[in-house]
Each structure stands twice: as structure tokens, then as C-alpha cells.
Amino acid sequence: MKLLRDHVLREFFGPFFSSLFLLLFLFLLGRGLFQMADLVFNKNVDIFLVFRILIVSLPFMLIFIIPISVLAATLVTFGKLSHDNEITALRAGGVSLRRLVAPLVLTVTLLCLVSFILSDKIASVSHYAYRRLLTQIGIENPSAALDEGVFIKKFKNFIIFIYEINGNKLKGIRIYQPQEGKPVRTIIASKGELLSIPEKNVIKLKLIHGTSDEPDPKDPSKLYKLNFKTYDLPLNLAGLKEAAELEKKPKDMSIKELRGEIARLTASGIQGTQTLSAEIHNKIALSLSGLVFLLVGVPLGIMVRRGDRSVSLGISLALMTLYWVLLIGGKAVAQKGLAPPFLCLQFSNFVLAGFGLFFLRKLAQH
């Protein structure tokens, strides 16, 4: 039995780690590896700061990558065992499917425990650190917080649109200042320059060659056009500073912190703690998803040999998509207080685990 256990685990861990590293690479690309390269090479952000951002983003990615890697490895392992007729030979020798799967159930249960610790103790802290590092970049290097061709609303009282950014040099600048009960003030400049003054909590935007709407001294409700060669506009960094020091979001909290926050709000008579409860059960559900994917992956992997490989792959992708849709939908329902968070967040696990156990039983009977 030890020989069988080692063989199954060896077949499993090869594709598991291959999938883990491949998916991690793809997730890094999707999360903005090219954007981070742009921060280093085009916006002169410290490369060590960008590297820290990549590092602290890894635990949060692994929460999703581990269960997907379990499914991929399970499909490959049992697809190969089935293709090589090893499962048929073992069952002919009196080895049941349950005994064949048992070592992986124990192994994946341990992986689920690792995922839970990762989600609860590590990813919550790293996600908060990730947010703070992004804010720090915006404070220390304001041009990195600006994007071309979009309306920027990070600065209090101003909406900024910039056509071209090259370091701290700007071209084609439009600044809008909404004023309650008054016309929107507009400043237009052909070019400009960003000057950061962190100690004063201010960015000075030096505008060159443009026009500005200024209040009419005789009638402040009206504006008149003012042409300028240079115009210094201070932009308050308070919004960014406050963002760096905001209280933690639910994703930034451990289960202990979430429960403490729920108790505090409840004691204060504040309703609407569903979001916090949903986050607790979301952590638990994601941690258990690896075991669910194992239960689904075993029968799917065995059936690869019995049918078209592409059909099996398509079914597995459909089940993964179904899982994430159910999980996201369940979380949304729980946050609105329409059903108990435990039921909403574990529903996806119940559905897929039910499918897996049903097909495993069918296979065991043949």
C-alpha cells in the first residue's frame, strides 16, 4: 500500500507544481506585470518598491491558484492512470477506488489547511500592505498615480484629464472644478509639470500656456476667462494620505478581526454586518475548494480515456466557471442579507462536491 500511495502522490505533485507556477505567472501578468514595468521604466518608481508590491500580492493570488492547481493535477493524474489501464489493473487486484483516492484526500486536506492559514493570517495582511504600497507610490511619485486619457478623481475638488504623460512632464491638460450652485470652473493648459511637496502634503501642478475660469469680482456666481503663461495649482494630497491610513477593508482582516468588528458593531446597535460575515465564510469556502475540486477531478480524469479529451477539458472548465459564478453570486446574496452567509458561500462547494461524489459512486459500482 505504501508503494501505491507513493506512486499516486508522485503522479499528482508533478502536475500540481507545474500548474501552480504556470498559473502564478499568468496571474502576475494579469494583475499588471506590464503596468509595473511601466512604473519602473517610464515613471521612475523605485524598482524595490515595485518588487515589494509583487511580493505582497502573491499570497492573495495563491488562495485562488492552489485549488485550480489541485483540479488540474487531479485531471492529469487520473487521466494518465486511466489511460495506462493502471486503475483497471488495481481494481482487478482488489484495490478499491476509495483506497486509491484516500492518499490524495489526506494530502489535499492538508493543502486546504495551508490555504486557510494563507487566507486568514497571511493574505489579509499582505492585501492591506499591497494597498498601502500603491498609495505610497502615489504620494512619493505623483505622476505614477496619473493615467493618460482618463478622468482622474483622486484629488479633492478636482477632476483632471491629461492627454500625455512623460515622467513629470504633462501635455494637453484639462482640469474641472465642480462648484455647488455655480458653473464648473475649467482650466486648460497646453503643457505642465508636476512638483511634489510631500512634507506639506501638496502636489504643485505648474501649468504653462493656457486659460482659466476665474470668479467675476462683481458677480462671484459668474466666471470669466483668464489667459496665463504659467499658473501654479496646488493639489491636496489629503485624499491619498487618508487612503493610506484608512481602516482595514474586510479583505484586509483576519477572521478574528472580522468577528471582533461584528461584535463591536452589534454592541453599538449598528446593523449591516452581512459584508463582514460574508467575508468570513468566503475565506472558509475558498479554503475548502481544493477538496471539492479533487472530488470533481477524480471522475473527470478517469472519464478522459472513455471520451474525447477536449470534451472532458471543456466540462472541467465549465465546472470551474460554475463554481466561481456560484461563489461570487452567493457572496453578493449574503452581503445583501437575503440568506445566511454560511449557506450562500458554501453553496458552490455543496453543488460541486455533490456532483463529484455522485460520479465517484457511479464509477465505484462498475
pLDDT of residue 92: 74
pLDDT of residue 289: 93
- Residue 320 CA to residue 71 CA, distance in Å, equals 9
pLDDT of residue 248: 76
pLDDT of residue 304: 67
- Residue 155 CA to residue 71 CA, distance in Å, equals 45
Residues in the chain where the model's pLDDT stays below 50: 241-244, 307-308
Residue with cell 491558484: 65
pLDDT of residue 270: 67
Span 279-314, pLDDT tens digits: 999 999 999 999 999 999 888 888 765 544 555 556
Residue 279 and residue 258 in contact, taking contact as beta carbons nearer than 8 Å: yes
What predicted TM-score, i.e. pTM, was given to this entire model?
0.72
Element (H, E) at 46: none
Residue with cell 494630497: 237
pLDDT of residue 243: 46
Residue 337 and residue 275 in contact, taking contact as beta carbons nearer than 8 Å: no
pLDDT of residue 285: 93
The three-state secondary structure class of 365 is coil
The three-state secondary structure class of 270 is coil
Query: Residue 93 CA to chain centroid, in angstroms?
Result: 47
pLDDT of residue 162: 87
- Residue 152 CA to residue 145 CA, distance in Å, equals 9
In the chain, domain spans:
2-140+249-364, 156-236
Write phi, then psi, for 248 (nearest 5 degrees): -65, 145
